[in-house]
Amino acid sequence: MSDVTQLLERASEGDPRAAEELLPLLYEELRKLAAAKLAREAPGQTLQATALVHEAWLRLARVEGDNWNGRAHFFGAAAEAMRRILVEHARRKRALRRGGDQAKLDIDRIEIPAAAPGEELLALSEALERFAIRDPRKAELVKLRYFAGFTSEEAAELLGISVPTADRWWRYSRAWLAQQIEQQPGGSEA
């Protein structure tokens, strides 16, 4: 059993020292995952990998009594926490962009970006929530691949499935999610 797995077990049993020892072991790996995810975001992204990792860690630490059943469960929860943070960030930016507490500007004096990646992220998140109800294991694979940045091989190992199965699930999941997003008028939930 790895050090990480042992520390996760001790932390789930309520050992406060285990959580303190766990962060340094997982921090760099979580930071790489966050950096990979943020690299796929649009230029001008104000959220940084370090902030994303810290916020995700705080959210994971708040879940009292959660039993981490090894690395797969922990990284799945970390991917979910990062996804939720990114979605909340996109929603805040969208609210501000649509008025919020912003002062009015002359439209002729501003440039409007061609794409709205925050909108795409929100549409994906809404479709993924519906997909998780339909097929939780495949949704977990999507979270690990897309939001946590794991390769097919890494995700397969964490989920305890073969790489060909992970590849099949990934192709199916992407097709299902794309269809759901296309069916949403204007990229938002109907």
Q: Indicate the pTM of the whole model.
A: 0.55
- How far CA 97 is from CA of 44, 117, 119, in Å, comes to 14, 13, 11
Instruction: Give 132's pLDDT tier (boundaries 50, 70, 90).
Output: very high
- Which DSSP symbol is given to 66? -
- Residue 39 clears pLDDT 90, i.e. is over it: no
Compute the mean pLDDT over every residue in the chain, rounded to the nearest whole number. Answer: 76
Name the H helices within the chain. Answer: 3-12, 16-39, 49-62, 70-97, 117-134, 136-142, 152-159, 163-183
**How many domains in the chain?**
1
More confident: 59 or 167: 167
pLDDT score recorded for residue 15: 77
d(CA 140, CA 129): 11
Q: What is the pLDDT of residues 62-103, one digit of tens each?
A: 764 456 677 777 788 888 888 888 888 877 776 655 555 555
Encoded tokens for 156 = 């397969």
pLDDT of amino acid 20: 76
* Res 188 pLDDT > 60: no
- Residue 48 banded pLDDT, cuts 50, 70, 90: confident
CA angle, residues 34, 94, 173, in degrees to nearest 5: 55
* Residue range of the domain that includes 15: 3-187
Helix (H, G, I), strand (E, B) or coil at 46: coil
